[in-house]
Amino acid sequence: MIQIGGKVYELIHENRNGWNADAFKDRYSEVLERYDFIIGDWGYSQLRLKGFFKDNHMKATKDSAFSGMSDYINEYCNFGCAYFVLEKTGTIKKSTDDEEAGDEQDAPLKQDAVVQERTDAEDEQEAGAASLADAILAGAAAAARESAAAGKSNGRHGEEAQQQPSRQQHRSGKDQHRRSYRPNSKKPIRPAANKDVAATSEQATVHAQSGQKPRERDRNRERSKDHNKDHNKEQRKEQGSRQS
């Protein structure tokens, strides 16, 4: 049990003999009284103190809650360093004389605590600035890669666009040459020739129709002649038979 600044603390964890009562009293300040837990870690023979709230405390945040203490040790403390953890268990009422004496004794501790808080804040700001700078550099590198890729794609599109007009011009030149060489690939149909053909076809049909009539007449004539000849022969025979 440790009594300091009107508060009672209990040592709940110690790593590598990190607890030192004298060093703790020298580094303790009133700023740490509001916290439920205090962690002290050693680095380069210097003790650093930091407070944490209970997880259900109304002022507890991700960085100040007791559940985030392990992240603090892993990220902000030296690897494998010695440290200890104190839990506040109660409060001691002081008399007026004791409070005045305690204030005089605690004045240097308060100054040290303020300086320590400032150094911790500066360290956190430096870490945040470093992470921000890394993020900016990563974003700039990604933007440069994207711009380079976009430049390559634009160059390819430009070359294709230049090649397409040349191909179109070449094709149009070939088409013009073909048209000039063979201006009329198909011969037009003349209407006069169609009329002549129609007239000749009509005349042929008329002649064909008119030619059929004389032939029938000739046949009729030949038949009549043959009939007359037969009739004359019969008459001659009859006359010859009568005379005999």
State the pLDDT confidence band at 239, using cuts at 50, 70 and 90.
Answer: confident
93 vs 28, which has greater pLDDT? 28
Question: 34, 131, 15, 116: which is closest to 74 by C-alpha?
Answer: 15
pLDDT tens-digit map of 131-186: 777 778 888 888 888 878 877 766 666 666 666 655 666 566 555 556 554 545 45
Q: For domain 2-122, give its CATH number from 3.30.1130.10, 3.40.50.150, 3.50.4.20, 3.30.43.10.
A: 3.50.4.20
pLDDT average, residue stretch 101-109: 62
Give the domain ranges of the chain. 2-122
pTM for the complete prediction? 0.40
Separation CA 180–CA 183 (nearest Å): 5
Q: What secondary structure does DSSP assign to 137-159, as a single string?
A: HHHHHHHHHHHHHHHHHHHHHHH
State the pLDDT confidence band at 213, using cuts at 50, 70 and 90.
Answer: low
pLDDT tens-digit map of 29-86: 999 999 999 999 999 999 999 999 999 999 999 999 999 999 999 999 999 999 999 9
Q: Cite the DSSP H helix spans in 77-189.
A: 96-181
Res 236 pLDDT > 90: no
